[in-house]
Structure 1
Amino acid sequence: MTTSAPRRRHLASSPFQADPEPVILQFEVDEMVSHDSYGMGRVVSVEAQAVTVDFRPQLIRIASPFARLAKL
């Protein structure tokens, strides 16, 4: 059984900034993207937690949160 660590409480009077919420990108089919390792490619399939990208000559399935993938 695994449990995630509880989120730290942020007081409004605190001089420190709260951790920002992570932004998860949304991709669409036929959208051009760039990956740090594979280069430029085109999204061919979108799933709930992953996208499949055609980087010619290979298809790569990339899971969310898409850390190394950027829209062009």
Structure 2
Amino acid sequence: MKNFAAPRRPMPTSPFKSRTQAPQRKHFAIGDRVTHDRFGLGRVIDVEGEGAIAALVDFGTRQERLTQPYTAMYKL
């Protein structure tokens, strides 16, 4: 008989939980075409700071200043 049980996940406080890598920081440059989950398609028109602390994006009908970690924005 096959076991269809879900794989066990470690508890958040467990000292034996698997180590995950930190997510890669996203970097955007002026002129990059992007898509955003909420605002749609756009183009980066300005980047603040050396580490790309914030990006000013033109979405056609509006301009938005988006800050790190850019979880909803992806480069096309």
Per the shorter chain, which TM-score range?
0.7 to 0.9
**Corresponding residue of 1:55:** 59
- Matched AA of 1:57: T
**Corresponding residue of 1:69:** 73
The TM-score with structure 1 as length reference comes to 0.75
**Corresponding residue of 2:38:** 37
1:27 and 2:35 matched:
no
Q: How far did 1:19 drift?
A: 2.1
Structure 1: where are the runs of 5+ without partners? 1-9
The TM-score with structure 2 as length reference comes to 0.71
**Secondary structure of the structure 1 residue equivalent to 2:24:** coil
Runs of 4+ in 1 over 4 A off after TM superposition: none
1:6-64 deviation per Cα after TM superposition (whole angstroms, max 9, x unaligned)? xxxx8xxx6x4212112111101011000000000000001121100000111100000
- Matched AA of 2:27: Q
**Secondary structure of the structure 1 residue equivalent to 2:55:** strand
Give the share of equivalent positions with the same residue, in percent. Answer: 32
Structure 2: where are the runs of 5+ without partners? 1-14
